[in-house]
Structure 1
Amino acid sequence: MVYTIRQTRREDWQLLRDLRLAALKDPVAPVAFFEPYDEALALTRGDWERRASGRARVTFIGETESGVWGGMVGAFVRDDHVWVVGVYMRPEHRGTGLAEALMRAAIDWAGGRETRLRVHENNQRAARFYASLGFRPTGGAETDPRDPALKAYELAFAPHAPGPATTPGEKAEA
């Protein structure tokens, strides 16, 4: 499948909202996202426009030739690191290479800064995927706010790792 990898824009707010709400309703959401569905549902149009506009963070999406958004990856800068958040692929787009193309876009956007993310201890599929891209444990962890007995482990991608297969806006064969 061919995807265009690009950043969302303010006018994409409704498509971003739809994709995020789908992500939060996905059966794997409890081990992938800390944001509750009801909280995301209650956000205003202005909140979604800010999320889509890339002011506080950017969101990369993979868009098919027919305009379908197959997945997304968010990224923001904090403490001189780029943090990857909100990684989601619609079920019918999993296994197509889209997740790797989106992650490489976020790593490229980091501009040589270390890229970090957190993966829930019960999300081994995601942990294996991130390891395949070169992410390694930092030793850091965060408690799952829904269950203090569980953790999300911090992983980091070194800036000297190979560059992305595509750049934002390029067509990616995935």
Structure 2
Amino acid sequence: MDHLIRALRADEWEKAREIRLAALRDPIAHLAFLDTYEAAVERPDAFWRERAEDSSESGEGKVRQFVAEGPDGTWAGTITLLVERPSDEVRFGEPAKVDQTHVVGVYVRPGARGTGVIDALFRAGVEWSWSSVEPAVERVRLYVHEDNARAAAFYRRFGFTATGERVAVPGSGSAEEVEYELRRPVGRSAR
């Protein structure tokens, strides 16, 4: 893999918008995202600027987006993590019982799948969770659509385990999302 994994910079909102729109056009986007291309493409530039600022390396640290950047400057993939505290308002799923991060917005372009990009993005996101967030994060969680077997297989391979928690997919009727978690390694303390 010849990609640099790094945090998003605030001035990269146009590239962040482009990769999000590409993700929402993916054939399995309906299983992976709680957003649609049609809704996202209508959002004004100010929305994308604010989103990039909030999730950049210069943001407040409550959200962090990582990108896999190729030697030519193109982005092969992205992952975003949201910091969740027990006192926070619930965004999705069950309320946080411990300090945690929540993985969202995972996407790797088709041409980069199987090259190690997703592993590198997850390593960066998990490392940031364990080392950069105060107070210490106890777990990293994510939700995966019950029909998204490919994503669930990767999460298990990476070390995530199903918690048994399930939540209804908003607006879908009977479909559910399954919660997975990765617990802080024993003896691993925040820096």
TM-based fold match above 0.5: yes
State the match for 2:90 in structure 1.
none
Partner Cα separation in structure 1 for residue 8 and residue 49 of structure 2: 10
Greater RCO structure (CA 8 Å; 6+ sep): 1
- CA deviations on 1:29-71 (whole Å, 9 max, x unpaired) are 0111111222211222121112212235211000000101000
Indicate conservation of the 8 Å contact 1:7/1:60, yes or no: yes
Richer in strand (by share) = 1
Task: Check if 1:107 corresponds to 2:113.
Answer: no
Identical amino acids, percent of aligned pairs: 38
Task: Check if 1:69 corresponds to 2:75.
Answer: yes
Task: Number of aligned residue pairs: give it.
Answer: 162
Instruction: Report SS of the residue matched to 1:2.
Output: coil
State the match for 1:143 in structure 2.
168
Partner Cα separation in structure 2 for residue 59 and residue 66 of structure 1: 20
State the match for 1:24 in structure 2.
24
Indicate conservation of the 8 Å contact 1:51/1:57, yes or no: no
Q: Name structure 1 gaps, 5 residues minimum.
A: 164-174
* Residue identity opposite 2:68 in structure 1: G
TM-score (norm 1): 0.88
Deviation at 1:116, TM superposition (A): 0.3
Instruction: Report SS of the residue matched to 1:13.
Output: helix
Partner Cα separation in structure 2 for residue 41 and residue 142 of structure 1: 27
Superposed CA RMSD: 1.5
Deviation at 1:141, TM superposition (A): 1.6
State the match for 2:102 in structure 1.
83
Please say which structure displays the higher CA radius of gyration: 2
Partner Cα separation in structure 2 for residue 21 and residue 142 of structure 1: 25
4+ runs deviating over 6 angstroms: none
Deviation at 1:121, TM superposition (A): 0.4
Partner Cα separation in structure 2 for residue 31 and residue 86 of structure 1: 12
Task: Check if 1:51 corresponds to 2:70.
Answer: no
Instruction: Report SS of the residue matched to 1:67.
Output: coil
Indicate conservation of the 8 Å contact 1:5/1:101, yes or no: yes
Partner Cα separation in structure 1 for residue 63 and residue 50 of structure 2: 9
Deviation at 1:146, TM superposition (A): 3.5
Q: Name structure 2 gaps, 5 residues minimum.
A: 86-98, 131-135
Instruction: Report SS of the residue matched to 1:145.
Output: coil
Partner Cα separation in structure 2 for residue 133 and residue 50 of structure 1: 31
Identify which range, 111-120 or 52-61, moves more after superposition: 52-61
* Residue identity opposite 1:23 in structure 2: A
Partner Cα separation in structure 1 for residue 10 and residue 44 of structure 2: 13
State the match for 2:94 in structure 1.
none
Task: Check if 1:117 corresponds to 2:136.
Answer: no
